[in-house]
Structure 1
Amino acid sequence: MSHHTPPQLFLIDGYALIYRAFFAMISRPLTTSKGINTSVAWGIVNFLLRLRDKYQPDYLAWINDAGDSFRTETYAEYKSTREKLDAELQADFDQSLDHVSALLQAFRVPQIEVPGYEADDVIGTLATRAAGAGYQAVIVSGDKDFYQLIDDHIALLNPGRGGPAAVTEQWVDSTNAEERLGVPPHQVVDYLALVGDSSDNIPGVKGIGPKGAAALLAQYGDLESIIAQASTIKQKRPREALADQADNARLSRDLVTIKCDLTVEVDLAELAARDPDMEALAPLLSEYEFYTLAERLDLDAGRRTSGQQAASRGATERPVNVVADPADLPSLVDTLRAGSLVALSVQASSGAARSASLTGIGLAAPGGEVWYLPFGHGNSVGALAAPTPVANLPPLSHPECAPLADLLRDAAVPKLGHDMKFGWEILRGAGLELAGLAHDTMLESFVLDPGRRSHTLDTLILDQTGAQLRPWQDVVGKGKTQIAFAEVAVADAAEYAARRAAAALALHETFAPELERLSLTALLDEIELPLVEVLVDMEWAGIAIDQALFARLSQRYSRDLEALKKQTYQAAGREFNLNSPKQLATVLFEQGQLPVLKKTKTGPSTDADVLEQLSAMGYEVPQLILEYRELQKLLSTYVDVLPQAVNPLTGRIHTTYNQTGAATGRLSSSDPNLQNVPVRTARGGEIRRAFVAAPGHQFVVADYSQIELRLMAHLSGDELLVQAFEQGGDIHRQTAAVTFDVALDEVTPDMRTQAKTINFATIYGQGPFALGKQLGITQADAKEFIAQYFERFAGVRTYLDRQVDLARERGYVETLFGRRRYIPELKSKNFNVRSFGERTAQNSPLQGSAADLIKIAMRNIHRQLADEGLAARLILQVHDELVLEVPEAEVDRVSVLVREAMESAADLRVPIVADVGVGPNWLDAKA
């Protein structure tokens, strides 16, 4: 919105903005390290900054409600349906009001309220007065009641909101108000009188909706005319509704009408916009830990060096230097070596790191300079394509690139980037081994906020600095017009890549002090960053499969699938689409008259849970459908798909590991996912047998034994659980003996099964319902069993309860190695969400510590293999399991090395045990 000639007065509907900010983040509030909820404060500061930067108001005021208004006296039920906050949330909300009041004073925004009246009436009065005095009044609110005030001199700015029900910012004035609401401003009061407002409990006329109200007003003009001529309305429902509810309509009109004639003791000149009081604002932003916002306001100049400030601001302003002449490399390298840090953004011909080629490198330095080095740009046609001819640097392995190559492989020169695992592999493909990776801002973001949905550079830089990077699709196009990055004009590629390097540098300067303040630097430097090289080597190595065996499995499973289909038809007495839930429901519940165990909106459920229960009752068709679905999934997910994932250049499958995919810190695998290859069924085992070691090699497979239970013993300190592990032997048999208070040799197989189930149920926070279902016992029996278990292992119960209490107090729980998991769900008003938060508080330290432990083991194994000059290599990680491909001559040494590294990854109260197996394929090597 451009600045208008008349002076603009922005009138902010304060409580509306506060409520919106509070509830937008209620499921995941922003909290300080001390657990203080700062969601509202964050939202308000960002809003005020955006308002100042985008609209540059001449005059500004914040309007608050002031207790009950005349509307409550007129209609006691006014706003009575609004949900009340519980005590904890109300305390957070009240504290948020104090934060906002302090921030408004620091921003020097006048606050106005009139006792006995709502903010709407004060805003209406001031807007009308301002319009009459030659101002343009702009009401900042999402409340549609304000549409009644819109005219040539009064506009409405809906600030929008984020979250799942996101609303974009909207400017509404006399040119588009009718289009947005469906009626012109002068009819808004009567329109609202007819449709009512559920949020304020304004009754309106039941039976008349928005379209009906707009149509009636278009025909009759106003509410009184509609009521007077109600008998002539053709439609029965609105005609009868108006005859019965005319009084409600008039009451609603009175309630929605905004008063514009109050006595407001303020001179408009006193509302002139002023710059913030920086001395008052700085300590508030520090208290609320809004360091990025402080940076935007230049409040942290003392905390950052001038060079750092130049990196975050100047790097996005200075022109990009394109270096395509090898003769310019020495001076560039000298400049980079003279700095404290080199930021990289490596660009490739595709996103498949193992087969992509280097296209270019964006560079940024703390001094604010940015460069782009083209290596693989070609010529093409189209609007986004590179003009001819294109100048590229020679390959990195060429002697003329030696200064640059030496810099990149020099471990003494610290480097940073965003998702540098990908960049590392691209450089390796270009013949260069990167060294000196000191920082990765994707990992920094993950360690700081593991529950964050996205750790992409674009979203992070936007959130942290307000800057917006050029989107990928703007550079390469989309759909049929999309071109490869190598075909993009070098000038555009340079802008894209170099700005990304500068953005990573700016992010690091924001994240580094936060990591230090929260004591997370060690977790990043000692676990996550060293793991990057480990994962690079694992992805690069890949794993081989027996393609001939996969082909045979595909043929056999396809025959078995067809046989299962015919067997199911025979059992059902008819043919039908086995993949159609609707047809299956007809066969089971209409034709077969099986009991309906669960319903959905469309009818009886046929999900796996239902089919398993029906199968357990002895029904044949559900059992056959389960077998059919399992076999179909094996074919479509593994047997027919994995051979297609074999890289034609290497003959191996190269998965991608994601370090930021799970809030617990666990690694995930994709393209393809090799962490879900089944093992518990016979057919799943056949698939694992098709993963094979290279000729002259064996697989060494090592797996932590009951690591999360051992961590539970260590973290809880429960004497009996610790004692059980110290004695060795079968932990589930020992816990069964304790739980059922019998001698070890009196433990039955059924007792052991129940003990094993509750051991793991404890870790995952299962309740009586889930446990009873798993054990096939009643919920009451499961509840009694849980109580008996916790009576024996009281230290476990105390530990779990303490974790929930800590999470409520601090807002997060920690792993053994300091990894945080924030749990905003504990403050949810929804019982199920809150229960999920409690389970998360209990199991995250266990799962997260196990994830950290395997990462430490991977780091140590990788280093020791290199130190001893062994050719063995890690090629696969599946949570608590590691797979190494080992020359046959090294098998004995590597088996010992891996076991020792895994078992010494941490010092616990109980022994850490790793089981190690050897074999020519994944199945046979399983310990």
Structure 2
Amino acid sequence: FRIPLVRVEGYEADDVIGTLALKGAAAGLQSVIVSGDKDFYQLIGPGVALLNPGRGGPAGVDETWVGPDNAAERLGVPPSQVTDYLALVGDSSDNVPGVKGIGEKGAVQLLAEYPDIEALIAAAPTLKQKRPREALQEHAESARLSKRLVTILTDVPAELALDRFVMEPPDWPELTRLFGELEFASLVPRVEAMMASDPAAPDPTPATPGVEVEILDDPADLAAMLTELRDADLVAFDTETSSLDPHDAELIGLSFATSPTRVWYLPFGHRAPAGDLFGDDAQSAAPRNLPSIADTALAGVRALLEDAAVPKAAHNGKYDIQVLRRAGIEVAGFAYDSMLASFVLDPSRRSHGIDALALELLGLRMTSYTDLTGKGKSQIPFAEVPVDRAAAYCGADSTTVLALREQFAPGLEVASLAALLRDVELPLVPVLVDMEWTGIRIDREHFARLAETLDRDLGALEAQIHGVAGVDGLNLNSPRQLAEVLFEKMQLPVIRRTKTGPSTDAAVLEALAADGHELPALILQYRELQKLKSTYVDVLPQRVNAGTGRIHTSFNQVGAQTGRLSSSDPNLQNIPIRSERGEAIRRGFVPAEGWQFVVADYSQIELRLMAHLSGDPAFVAAFRSGGDIHRQTAAIIFGVDVADVTPEMRARAKTINFGTIYGQGPFALSNQLGITQDEAKAFITDYFERFAGVRAFLDACVATAREQGYVETLFGRRRYIPEIHDKNFNLRAFAERTAQNTPLQGSAADLIKRAMIAIHAALPAAGLRARLLLQVHDELVVEAPAEEAERAAALVREHMEGAAELSVPLVVEVGIGPNWVDAKH
């Protein structure tokens, strides 16, 4: 919007505003501060007023204007006493402590009798009311500190240069680009409407400027296109379908592009709008389509897509490849994905969607899906979108893939990230395609029995809770009712408050349960069982595909900045394992009839990476010895022989081993081990004295982030950490932990991806029918015919342990069984 900004190094915005407002008033101007912050009331006087925008929507200026005439009425004290008033009542949002025991009403009453804080503190022993008397005597220094904190400086070295404060016309294209990058979807149309009313605003750039999409609806016209495609260095493609689920998606259209300006669209499944088939309007006429892509007339298109010698590109190609597989085509030669390139280049980017990238990097406003189909009750299927509009939409996606490739290429080379994209992320696409397409089987009868058991247990728990609470009909899903019972009826201590009252979240209930209170413990049990039932036991059977009889999750390559894969629709990576109930859910995942599961899990992968990356001699030696790393660590920390390590010593060593990875401090460690913070601090100090190389590595990670703005994994993946320089201590501390943890988590993610690529190729090469099904953090689940299970297990172990050469051995634990649980054990 080109609103002028004023910055003065070393001073807060409030102080700059205050200084400029008073300088303006001194120059005979009317200064207006637009803010809802009460601190600014102290500045109100001749020539200085406050305009409070409020939160309730549009209001008249007379309702929001605060000047010398009505300032005292609004706050209860005149501007001259505002700092004293705020010093008494405090402000938790600005970390102003105030005087505990004195509220807004009491502060107004006291300041009506005394001119300021110092006079009040001096008179405190003589105050008649006990509460303010004791509060002021006990918290006098807090009151003085609070007054200093709320006092706005008005002598900042800021120049009142009025010529610099003149607003220029908004930069509409930049606003549109920025709002698109930030995913402010509802604001983009508002900006465009404002642009339309501004005669000086430029026209928005169309998605495909000067590009005419060639629509081919006659098989006779395909030969020329196929010749161009085969001569191209890279062919981008995009599909339009009837469903986001590739197992149900009918192919409606397909586009190909050889450059950002050369593109074709092939319609396959367009139809006239429902009810308009015999209308007179030309738009209602049945559209022309090519025969099915399986038809002999389309053999050339199929051959091109299946030819590995023709390099192909897409945006989120994993989806398009599965859509084409459903249509009977096995895409080969997939060589580029603009979504993955964006993620590799900057994993912190807010969105890797093609619309956001086009707007941010190319200045192109892409047509949205709902621009074509509408929304709500008036929404039409994509098949009913006119062919010319569908062609422009689909064609723009293909041309934009190639335009983005040109945009990303220099950055990938300069940052040495091209190899990560080429050797890890892109080869992983066909692996994930096969895993998603295959899916995983569940025992539906097992889940039905589990649902009955949980229903029975939930009913019994609910009755027990009602009995302990002494309230019939208590709604266990109502935080308000639970709060009334826990904190009013039973008078349990309030741990934390929210805007609506005492909190009853899990942390509060756990704290109360830890103090021996029965009801919070029962409610926690109830919530755990209810979550298992509603999230997994009831839902997973509903996600079984009717055609395949299996559940098909989606693995997401972009999102986690460490490079880890995530799973969604449904999420199969978060199924609990530590509890007996969670284990029962995993037991319901079973292989095909006559097959077995092979489950392989990296052993302590992040600790092994810590040893390798830090080079700490003691840590490396502990892993090379081949024993229990936590016993080895305990022996080093406590200075005893391995044989003399007690279970308690091992437990403490295990906790701190993993705590180092996540930047755990004394507070968190003391909670985990049940010791004092001083003991925890001493324990951490002793640990890092014994493993000085680990300390040096972690410090170096933070230093690298501060110097370069990013850290890297073992394989060169970058994570940018701008918060490392933030003035906010909490954000900066989090950034430092992120800098320490990312090289470990990210390297583990890269390792298992490399292993997956190798295993996916090795299984069929060995003549095995075994296939990868799931990746869950450091674990792979493979399905193999019973007679192949042992060979498959050996092959999986070989390629997981050989995914990288480290200074310590990579160890993989492998099991075979008739379900997920038994195979893992």
TM-score normalised by structure 1 residue count: 0.70
What is the deviation of 1:580?
2.0
Query: What is aligned with 1:888?
Result: 786
Q: Which moved more, 1:773-782 or 1:503-512?
A: 773-782
Change (3 A) 1:211 1:753: closer
| Separation in 2, partners of 1:919, 1:803 | 41
1:647 matched to 2:488? The reply is no
Counterpart pick for 1:554 among 422, 447, 451: 451
SS in structure 2 of the partner of residue 631 of structure 1 = helix
| Separation in 1, partners of 2:239, 2:469 | 59
| Separation in 2, partners of 1:912, 1:328 | 56
Query: What is aligned with 1:900?
Result: 798
* Residues 192 and 256, structure 1, Cα contact 8 Å, conserved in 2: no
* Residues 577 and 586, structure 2, Cα contact 8 Å, conserved in 1: yes
Query: What is aligned with 1:132?
Result: none
| Separation in 1, partners of 2:512, 2:60 | 56
Query: What is aligned with 2:630?
Result: 732
Change (3 A) 1:766 1:82: farther
1:776 matched to 2:674? The reply is yes
* Residues 44 and 71, structure 2, Cα contact 8 Å, conserved in 1: no
Change (3 A) 1:416 1:239: closer
Query: What is aligned with 2:133?
Result: none
* Residues 341 and 416, structure 1, Cα contact 8 Å, conserved in 2: yes
After superposition, give the CA deviation of every residue in 1:451-497 in whole Å (9 maximum; x if it has no partner).
Answer: 11210000001110111111111011111111221221111110100
SS in structure 1 of the partner of residue 255 of structure 2 = strand
For 1:36-47, what aligned pairs fall within 5 Å after superposition? Answer: none
* Residues 875 and 884, structure 1, Cα contact 8 Å, conserved in 2: yes
* Residues 763 and 769, structure 2, Cα contact 8 Å, conserved in 1: yes
SS in structure 2 of the partner of residue 332 of structure 1 = helix
1:457 matched to 2:354? The reply is yes
| Separation in 1, partners of 2:51, 2:807 | 67
Give the residue type in structure 1 aligned to 2:252. Answer: T
Query: What is aligned with 1:566?
Result: 463
1:425 matched to 2:315? The reply is no
* Residues 661 and 740, structure 2, Cα contact 8 Å, conserved in 1: yes
Change (3 A) 1:778 1:234: closer
Q: Which moved more, 1:482-491 or 1:803-812?
A: 482-491
* Residues 207 and 396, structure 2, Cα contact 8 Å, conserved in 1: no
* Residues 191 and 217, structure 1, Cα contact 8 Å, conserved in 2: no
Query: What is aligned with 2:292?
Result: 395
Q: Which moved more, 1:467-476 or 1:534-543?
A: 467-476
Give the residue type in structure 2 aligned to 1:345. Answer: D
Give the residue type in structure 2 aligned to 1:467. Answer: L
Counterpart pick for 2:490 among 592, 604, 610: 592
What is the deviation of 1:257?
14
* Residues 207 and 237, structure 1, Cα contact 8 Å, conserved in 2: no
1:350 matched to 2:243? The reply is yes
Counterpart pick for 1:435 among 297, 321, 332: 332
| Separation in 2, partners of 1:751, 1:341 | 59
| Separation in 2, partners of 1:215, 1:897 | 71
Give the residue type in structure 1 aligned to 2:714. Answer: L
What is the deviation of 1:614?
2.3
* Residues 669 and 675, structure 1, Cα contact 8 Å, conserved in 2: yes
| Separation in 2, partners of 1:201, 1:873 | 71
1:203 matched to 2:44? The reply is yes
Change (3 A) 1:751 1:399: same
| Separation in 1, partners of 2:564, 2:517 | 39
Change (3 A) 1:193 1:562: closer
What is the deviation of 1:610?
2.4
1:682 matched to 2:575? The reply is no
Give the residue type in structure 2 aligned to 1:354. Answer: H
| Separation in 2, partners of 1:587, 1:693 | 47
What is the deviation of 1:663?
0.1
1:920 matched to 2:761? The reply is no
Query: What is aligned with 2:264?
Result: 371
Identity across matched positions, percent: 54
What is the deviation of 1:381?
3.5
After superposition, give the CA deviation of every residue in 1:238-293 in whole Å (9 maximum; x if it has no partner).
Answer: 99959999xxxxxx9xx999898x9x9xxxxxx9xxxxxxxxxxxxxxxxxxxxxx
What is the deviation of 1:844?
0.2
Give the residue type in structure 2 aligned to 1:537. Answer: D
Query: What is aligned with 1:710?
Result: 608
| Separation in 2, partners of 1:202, 1:908 | 64
| Separation in 2, partners of 1:830, 1:842 | 19
| Separation in 2, partners of 1:737, 1:675 | 35
What is the deviation of 1:587?
2.0
Counterpart pick for 2:568 among 667, 670, 676: 670
1:828 matched to 2:726? The reply is yes
Counterpart pick for 1:539 among 436, 444, 447: 436
Query: What is aligned with 2:15?
Result: 81
For 1:234-383, what aligned pairs fall within 5 Å after superposition? Answer: 316-366=209-259, 368-381=261-274
* Residues 314 and 369, structure 1, Cα contact 8 Å, conserved in 2: no
What is the deviation of 1:672?
0.3
Give the residue type in structure 2 aligned to 1:430. Answer: A
Query: What is aligned with 2:382?
Result: 485
After superposition, give the CA deviation of every residue in 1:172-192 in whole Å (9 maximum; x if it has no partner).
Answer: xxxxxxxxxxxxxxx993766
* Residues 44 and 50, structure 2, Cα contact 8 Å, conserved in 1: no
Query: What is aligned with 1:288?
Result: none
Give the residue type in structure 2 aligned to 1:680. Answer: R
| Separation in 1, partners of 2:445, 2:813 | 30
Change (3 A) 1:385 1:466: farther
Give the residue type in structure 2 aligned to 1:806. Answer: T
* Residues 556 and 567, structure 2, Cα contact 8 Å, conserved in 1: yes
| Separation in 2, partners of 1:642, 1:751 | 41
After superposition, give the CA deviation of every residue in 1:628-664 in whole Å (9 maximum; x if it has no partner).
Answer: 0110000000000001101001110000010002000
For 1:21-100, what aligned pairs fall within 5 Å after superposition? Answer: 81-82=15-16
Query: What is aligned with 1:103?
Result: none
After superposition, give the CA deviation of every residue in 1:204-237 in whole Å (9 maximum; x if it has no partner).
Answer: 489975599x999979xx99xx98xx6xx99966
* Residues 79 and 201, structure 1, Cα contact 8 Å, conserved in 2: no
SS in structure 1 of the partner of residue 259 of structure 2 = coil
Counterpart pick for 1:750 among 648, 656, 662: 648
Query: What is aligned with 1:510?
Result: 407
What is the deviation of 1:197?
10
Query: What is aligned with 2:30?
Result: 189
Change (3 A) 1:734 1:259: closer
1:765 matched to 2:663? The reply is yes
Change (3 A) 1:776 1:392: same
Report the number of matched residues: 701
After superposition, give the CA deviation of every residue in 1:883-922 in whole Å (9 maximum; x if it has no partner).
Answer: 0110112111101000000000000000001100011111
What is the deviation of 1:201?
8.3
Give the residue type in structure 1 aligned to 2:314. Answer: G
* Residues 350 and 484, structure 1, Cα contact 8 Å, conserved in 2: no
1:840 matched to 2:721? The reply is no
- After superposition, the CA RMSD in angstroms is 3.7
What is the deviation of 1:396?
2.1
Change (3 A) 1:326 1:78: closer
TM-score normalised by structure 2 residue count: 0.79
| Separation in 2, partners of 1:353, 1:519 | 34
What is the deviation of 1:336?
1.2
* Residues 20 and 158, structure 2, Cα contact 8 Å, conserved in 1: no
Give the residue type in structure 1 aligned to 2:240. Answer: Q
Query: What is aligned with 2:760?
Result: 862
Give the residue type in structure 1 aligned to 2:765. Answer: D
Which ranges in structure 2 are unaligned for 5 or more consecutive residues? 83-153, 169-204
Give the residue type in structure 2 aligned to 1:509. Answer: E
Q: Which moved more, 1:190-199 or 1:402-411?
A: 190-199
Give the residue type in structure 2 aligned to 1:189. Answer: Q
Counterpart pick for 1:612 among 482, 491, 510: 510
| Separation in 2, partners of 1:650, 1:374 | 28
* Residues 572 and 587, structure 1, Cα contact 8 Å, conserved in 2: yes
SS in structure 2 of the partner of residue 81 of structure 1 = helix
Change (3 A) 1:461 1:499: same
* Residues 659 and 665, structure 1, Cα contact 8 Å, conserved in 2: yes
Query: What is aligned with 1:73?
Result: none
